[in-house]
Amino acid sequence: MMPGEDDDIEQSTGDLGRMFTEAFSAMGTSLFGPFSASLRPLSRVVVDNESVTVTFDLPGVSKEGVSVVCTQDFVSIEAEGRKHSGSAGQAGRVSSVEYVKYSERVALPVLVDPDRGSARFRNGIIVVKVPRLRSGRQLKVAGAQDKK
Amino acid sequence: MPSAPQRVQIVDTGPKGNKPTVIVGVPEAGLVGTIASSYLVEQLKLEERGFIDSDLMPPVMVVHSSVVRYPLHIFGKGNLIVVLSEVPLVGRLAVEVSKEVAAWAKSLKADRVVGISGAPSNEREQTQGDGKSAVVGVGNDQESIEAVKASGALPFEDGVISGFYASLMKYCTRDQQSAVVLLAESLAQFPDPGAAVSIIDSLNKLLSLKVDTKPLVQEAEGIRLRTRELMQQTQQAQQQPGATSGGSAYR
């Protein structure tokens, strides 16, 4: 991907494969999931009046390697990336990485409308933005004098 | 009467008297300071000349090449010293360490202390950390302010700095130690090597260094992977009671 290029991935929900992914990722609560050596990516959840934005840091992954599932109350992600090599600085002298695989499920603090969600991938970071679910009806406010 | 225990101990076995520049990088927004200072140590082949310890530090030691080391390192060569922390410094620890670093730099007759870090930025979040970022700088004397301008960093004219670097600037000013803080616009909660590249570019101009940033750009993904845990620890540390998250608001 060229620097500065934006990529939009429209995510749909409901397909069986992704339901499996969703159920699978729901089990992984430790740094390494129980069924595969998946890393938990760094993530960030921001809630505003209109929407919920969940951002995942997926270094080493390209747009094609990412799968996102969104329901009314969580966002889950599966991603795979390519090999890495090279030296490391003082802050992280660990052996080079052959491949990367990420898996994470983030519970949302409010309900969202997954049908209107979108995801944008750039620079190994995916931003999933989903409008908040608005339901309910206006209630009539009764006062004490209404009983008379 | 016994004297009060020393809360921070700086052990420096390096030479004195060559008016060094002291660069300070600690984990804050985007780990920019840590990534940039770590890269300087590696590229300039700086040698470890000491460490900083404190009874306020978490019980953490780091292991590099099977050798156990203190996580707050002092590296140097010639008239360049780099202080590099591999653990978050927040709350009382940030205050005490910055106070002692300022006094130590003064005792070395340091030419200047240069703090390097990230400043969380909406623009950076919008571009998802792609490409380079703008650098702003502030100095505590006229000469430092002019040096910041000459380095191409935007002058930090009005605003607030918080966290470790605010404390470092405070104690350098108290000790009449010339100091600069360079802040690259960065991602707040994800490691941001791109912002570290911008800091290195500014340091090249500020200190007449010739550090090639291409390897840092090429290795950015690997750095982001390897520093995830430190980023997580830094976020958690900044959420503790009494901690002030590092950052700035400027205009």
The model's pLDDT over A1-37, given as tens digits with 9 standing for 90+, comes to 444 444 444 433 333 333 333 343 433 344 444 445 6
> For B194, which residue in chain A has the nearest alpha carbon?
A123
* Pairwise CA distance, residues B82 & B74, whole Å: 6
> For A123, which residue in chain B has the nearest alpha carbon?
B130
* Residue type present at position B64: H
Counting residues of chain B whose pLDDT is more than 90, the rounded percentage is: 59
**Contact predicate B88/B234, CB 8 Å:** yes
- Shortest Cα distance, chain B CAs vs residue A93, angstroms: 7
**Contact predicate B72/B53, CB 8 Å:** yes
CB contact under 8 A, B42 and A55: no
- DSSP result, chain B: -PPPPPSEEEEE-S--SS--EEEEE-S-GGGHHHHHHHHHHHHTTPEEEEEEEETTS-S--EEETTEEE-SEEEEEETTEEEEEESS---HHHHHHHHHHHHHHHHHTT-SEEEEEEEEE-HHHHHTTT-S---EEEEESSHHHHHHHHHTTPEE--SEEEESHHHHHHHHHHHTT--EEEEEEEE-SSS--HHHHHHHHHHHHHHHT-----HHHHHTHHHHHHHTHHHHHHHHHHHTSTT----EEEE-
Partners of A41 on chain B (C-beta within 8 Å) are: 228
> Which ipTM was obtained for this model?
0.82
CA distances from A52 to A110, A113, A127, B160 (A): 8, 10, 10, 29
Q: Which CATH superfamily is domain B8-236 in?
A: PAC-like subunit (3.40.50.10900)
Angle made by CA atoms A26, A116, A27, in degrees to the nearest 5: 0
Inform me whether the pLDDT recorded for A90 exceeds 50.
no
Give me the pLDDT at residue B239, please. Answer: 78
Partners of B214 on chain A (C-beta within 8 Å) are: none
Q: Average the pLDDT over B74-91 and give the result.
A: 92
Partners of A45 on chain B (C-beta within 8 Å) are: none
* Pairwise CA distance, residues B140 & B161, whole Å: 13
> For B42, which residue in chain A has the nearest alpha carbon?
A89
Partners of A125 on chain B (C-beta within 8 Å) are: 128-129, 190
Give me the pLDDT at residue B249, please. Answer: 56
Q: Average the pLDDT over B96-125 and give the result.
A: 93
Nearest neighbour of A122 by CB, restricted to B130, B226, B232: B130
Instruction: Look at B219 and A97; give whichever has higher pLDDT.
Output: B219
Domain residue extents for chain A: 7-134
Give per-residue pLDDT as tens, A57-68. Answer: 999 898 998 999
- Shortest Cα distance, chain A CAs vs residue B216, angstroms: 10
Partners of A97 on chain B (C-beta within 8 Å) are: 222, 225
Domain residue extents for chain B: 8-236
What phi and psi values does residue B126 have, to the nearest 5 degrees?
-65, -40
Q: Tell me if chain B has a CB within 8 Å of the CB of A123.
A: yes
Partners of A127 on chain B (C-beta within 8 Å) are: 128
Give me the pLDDT at residue B238, please. Answer: 80
- Shortest Cα distance, chain A CAs vs residue B82, angstroms: 12
Instruction: Look at A38 and A57; give whichever has higher pLDDT.
Output: A57
Rounded to a whole number, what is the largest CA-CA distance in chain B? Answer: 59
Instruction: Look at B157 and A54; give whichever has higher pLDDT.
Output: A54
Mean pLDDT (chain A, rounded): 74
Angle made by CA atoms A31, A51, A76, in degrees to the nearest 5: 25
**Contact predicate A104/A76, CB 8 Å:** yes
Q: Tell me if chain B has a CB within 8 Å of the CB of A89.
A: yes
* Pairwise CA distance, residues B250 & B53, whole Å: 32
* CA neighbours closer than 13 Å in the CB half-sphere of residue B39: 30
Q: Tell me if chain B has a CB within 8 Å of the CB of A90.
A: yes
Q: Tell me if chain B has a CB within 8 Å of the CB of A46.
A: no
Looking at CATH, the fold of the domain delimited by A7-134 is given as: Immunoglobulin-like (2.60.40)
Q: Which of A4-13, A27-36, B2-11, B211-220 has the highest mean pLDDT?
A: B211-220
Mean pLDDT (chain B, rounded): 89
Nearest neighbour of B226 by CB, restricted to A42, A57, A92: A92
Give per-residue pLDDT as tens, B175-205. Answer: 999 999 999 999 989 999 999 999 999 999 9
Give me the pLDDT at residue A5, please. Answer: 43
